[in-house]
Amino acid sequence: MSSRVGYVQRRVQAVLRINRPNDEITNRIYSRNNSHLRGRNERANSVYDFDLTETDLSQLTGPEAHSDLVTKKRISARNFVGLYVILAVFCIAVWCVGYFVRGSMPWWISMLVGIAPLLAGFLHTWLVQISTEYRIFEDSLEIESGIVSRRIENIQLFRVRDLGFQQSIMGRLLNVGNIAVSSTDQSTPHLVLRGIDQPRELYETLRSLVAKSSAARRTMIVEDEAALENTDGIQSQ
């Protein structure tokens, strides 16, 4: 339950973070009126310092809690086709050698030596797939990674400055690729979504969401600036 509560708290904080004056432009706007800034910061801190009750948890983890989830992805198994081919060739080569020297070596040893790397490769790729999940929300990008311990990295989409699309020849044939994300986030300035199936569609979706989030952010700053100017006018009177 504690891990579930912690995850929900991180999600709520990520959503609320967009309303905090935490970038240079917004700080300049709010610094015009110190008393207004202190009042706003006190209200913001009161929002951030909260404890979730069972009722809050049920509301935040219900169907409406993830209504802004656009899509989620994992590393595709097709991303490891090249590794599977190499291991399969190695396995067949070992079996062929074992067949020709079967008089001096038991057959099961060559069988085991040949298939062991192949099984290890399948296990490795399976662990890589289940250990990482990419979640795209309307206003943020989350990467959850880890098997025993879990880690969640979050980037607000209005902070994204550049998106890159990478696809090799094999990736084009298998329709898998990577998406590179560069942002102004200090903790995670660069992220790569690796081995995504249908990467072009996800790339276009991210571009659209980033543009939408940036426009909403600019609108919010303009509205806050206008509100502060009105407040300054009222106080001067």
pLDDT at 223: 60
pLDDT in tens, 95-127: 888 888 777 777 778 888 888 998 999 999 999
Residue 62 clears pLDDT 60, i.e. is over it: no
Residue 38 clears pLDDT 70, i.e. is over it: no
pLDDT in tens, 130-149: 999 999 999 899 999 988 88
pLDDT at 101: 79
151-156 vs 132-137, strand pairing mode: unpaired
pLDDT at 61: 46
Q: Residue 118: enclosing H or E segment and its boundaries?
A: helix 107-131
Distance from C-alpha of 184 to C-alpha of 210, rounded to nearest angstrom: 13
pLDDT at 120: 92
pLDDT at 128: 92
Q: Which residues, at least 6 apart from 8, have a Cβ–Cβ distance to it below 8 Å?
A: 52, 57, 60, 61, 65
pLDDT at 8: 46
pLDDT at 112: 87
Q: Distance from first CA to last CA of the chain, Å, rounded? A: 54
Is this prediction's pTM over 0.85?
Answer: no
pLDDT at 124: 92
pLDDT in tens, 149-200: 889 988 999 899 999 999 989 899 999 999 999 998 888 888 899 999 999 9
Distance from C-alpha of 80 to C-alpha of 8, rounded to nearest angstrom: 33
- Letter for the amino acid at 88? A
What is the side-by-side strand order in the sheet with 176-183? Answer: 160-166, 176-183, 190-197
Residue 229 clears pLDDT 80, i.e. is over it: no
Q: Residue 59: enclosing H or E segment and its boundaries?
A: helix 54-60
pLDDT at 193: 93
pLDDT more than 90, % of the chain? 34
pLDDT at 96: 86
